[in-house]
Structure 1
Amino acid sequence: MMSTLVIEASHNFILLNISDYLQGKLMQTQSSAFVESPMQLQRVEMYLASDPGNRDLLAAAVDLNLESGSPEKARTYVDAALSLYPDDPFFHHRHSNVLIAEGKLDDAEKILKVLHRSGPNPGIIYNLAYISFLKKKYAESADLLLPLLGTPGLSPMGLMTLLRALHHIGDLKKAIGIVEANIDVDTASAELLSAASLLYLDDGQLERAKEMGVVAKAKGPDSLESLVVDGNVSLGLGDAAAAESQFNAALKINPADGRSRVGLGVISMIRHDLPAATVQLEQAAASMPSHVGTLLALGWCKIFSGDIDAAELIYEKAVSLDRNFGESHGGLAVVAAKKGNRELAEEYIRRAQRLDRAGLSARYAQMILSGVVNDPVKFREQAGKLLSARTGPLGGTLGELIQKFARS
Structure 2
Amino acid sequence: MNLHQQIDSLTKFLQSDPTNPHIMADLVDLYLQAGPLENARELLEIGMAAYPDNPRFKFQLANVCLSDADFETAQKLLEELLESGFDNIGVQYNIALASAMQNNMEKAHKHLQQIRQNPEDRFAEGEILYLRSLHHLGQIDEALELGSSLTEAYKNNGELLGVLSLLHLDNQAFSLARHYAEQAQQLQVNNLESLSTLGTLYLDEMETALAKSYFDKALAIQPQDGRAWLGLGLSELLDQNPDQSTRHLEQAVQLMPDHLDSWHALAWAKISKGDIDGAETAVNTIIQKEPANANAHGTLAIIKIMKGDKTAAHVLVDEALRLDPTCFAALAAQTILRAPDSQAQDVRNNLDLLLSKPLFNDGVTVRDTLRKFITKYTPAGKTTKH
- Kept in 2, the 8 Å contact 1:200–1:209? The answer is yes
1:124 is displaced (CA, Å) by 0.8
**RMSD after superposition:** 3.3
Q: Letter of the aligned partner of 1:73 in structure 2?
A: N
Q: Is 1:149 equivalent to 2:135 in the alignment?
A: no
| Structure-1 residue corresponding to 2:56 | 90
Q: Higher mean Cα deviation, 70-79 or 51-60?
A: 51-60
Q: Deviations over 1:121-173 (max 9, x none)?
A: 12111112222223332222222222333633343222333333444444445
Give the TM-score normalised by structure 2.
0.81
Structure 1 CA distance, aligned partners of 2:93 and 2:296?
37
- Kept in 2, the 8 Å contact 1:164–1:195? The answer is yes
SS at match of 1:142: helix
| Structure-1 residue corresponding to 2:306 | 338
1:306 is displaced (CA, Å) by 1.9
Q: Higher mean Cα deviation, 116-125 or 229-238?
A: 116-125
- Change in CA separation of 1:366 and 1:237 when aligned onto 2, cut-off 3 Å: same
Q: Higher mean Cα deviation, 297-306 or 188-197?
A: 188-197
1:341 is displaced (CA, Å) by 2.7
Q: Deviations over 1:339-383 (max 9, x none)?
A: 233333233223333443333212221232133674869955547
Equivalenced residues, count: 361
1:243 is displaced (CA, Å) by 0.8
Q: Is 1:113 equivalent to 2:79 in the alignment?
A: yes
- Change in CA separation of 1:317 and 1:172 when aligned onto 2, cut-off 3 Å: farther
| Structure-2 residue corresponding to 1:313 | 281
| Structure-1 residue corresponding to 2:245 | 277
Match of 1:125 among 79, 92, 98: 92
- Change in CA separation of 1:156 and 1:330 when aligned onto 2, cut-off 3 Å: farther
Match of 2:200 among 232, 248, 256: 232
| Structure-1 residue corresponding to 2:174 | 206
Q: Letter of the aligned partner of 1:48 in structure 2?
A: L
Structure 1 CA distance, aligned partners of 2:150 and 2:26?
32
| Structure-1 residue corresponding to 2:42 | 76
Q: Deviations over 1:231-250 (max 9, x none)?
A: 01111112111111111111
| Structure-2 residue corresponding to 1:138 | 105
Q: Is 1:223 equivalent to 2:200 in the alignment?
A: no
Aligned identity (percent) is: 29
Structure 1 CA distance, aligned partners of 2:279 and 2:334?
18
- Change in CA separation of 1:45 and 1:107 when aligned onto 2, cut-off 3 Å: same
- Kept in 2, the 8 Å contact 1:213–1:229? The answer is yes
Give the TM-score normalised by structure 1.
0.77
1:251 is displaced (CA, Å) by 0.8
Q: Is 1:385 equivalent to 2:324 in the alignment?
A: no
Match of 2:290 among 315, 322, 335: 322
1:106 is displaced (CA, Å) by 4.5
Matches within 5 A, 1:7-26: none
Q: Letter of the aligned partner of 1:125 in structure 2?
A: Q
- Kept in 2, the 8 Å contact 1:44–1:57? The answer is no
Q: Is 1:49 equivalent to 2:11 in the alignment?
A: yes
Structure 2 CA distance, aligned partners of 1:143 and 1:392?
39
Q: Is 1:295 equivalent to 2:266 in the alignment?
A: no
Q: Is 1:178 equivalent to 2:108 in the alignment?
A: no
Q: Letter of the aligned partner of 2:5 in structure 1?
A: R
Q: Deviations over 1:18-41 (max 9, x none)?
A: xxxxxxxxxxxxxxxxxxxxx41x
SS at match of 1:335: helix
Structure 1 CA distance, aligned partners of 2:99 and 2:249?
26
1:223 is displaced (CA, Å) by 0.8
Structure 1 CA distance, aligned partners of 2:148 and 2:164?
9
- Kept in 1, the 8 Å contact 2:270–2:278? The answer is yes
Structure 1 CA distance, aligned partners of 2:22 and 2:369?
56
| Structure-1 residue corresponding to 2:350 | none
- Kept in 1, the 8 Å contact 2:55–2:86? The answer is no
| Structure-1 residue corresponding to 2:219 | 251
- Change in CA separation of 1:56 and 1:387 when aligned onto 2, cut-off 3 Å: farther
Structure 1 CA distance, aligned partners of 2:105 and 2:137?
6
SS at match of 1:289: coil
Q: Letter of the aligned partner of 2:268 in structure 1?
A: W
1:199 is displaced (CA, Å) by 2.3
- Change in CA separation of 1:391 and 1:55 when aligned onto 2, cut-off 3 Å: farther
Match of 2:232 among 250, 254, 264: 264
Please list every run of 5 or more consecutive structure 1 residues that lacks an aligned counterpart in the other structure.
Answer: 6-38, 399-408
| Structure-2 residue corresponding to 1:20 | none
Structure 1 CA distance, aligned partners of 2:239 and 2:364?
19
- Kept in 2, the 8 Å contact 1:236–1:393? The answer is no
- Kept in 2, the 8 Å contact 1:326–1:359? The answer is yes
Structure 2 CA distance, aligned partners of 1:354 and 1:68?
61
Q: Is 1:197 equivalent to 2:131 in the alignment?
A: no
Structure 1 CA distance, aligned partners of 2:154 and 2:81?
36
Q: Deviations over 1:302-340 (max 9, x none)?
A: 112222221112112112223343222222222222223
Q: Is 1:62 equivalent to 2:28 in the alignment?
A: yes
- Kept in 1, the 8 Å contact 2:199–2:231? The answer is yes
- Kept in 1, the 8 Å contact 2:267–2:282? The answer is yes
Please list every run of 5 or more consecutive structure 2 residues that lacks an aligned counterpart in the other structure.
Answer: 348-352, 376-386
Q: Letter of the aligned partner of 1:49 in structure 2?
A: T
| Structure-2 residue corresponding to 1:160 | 128
SS at match of 1:141: helix
Structure 2 CA distance, aligned partners of 1:349 and 1:390?
18
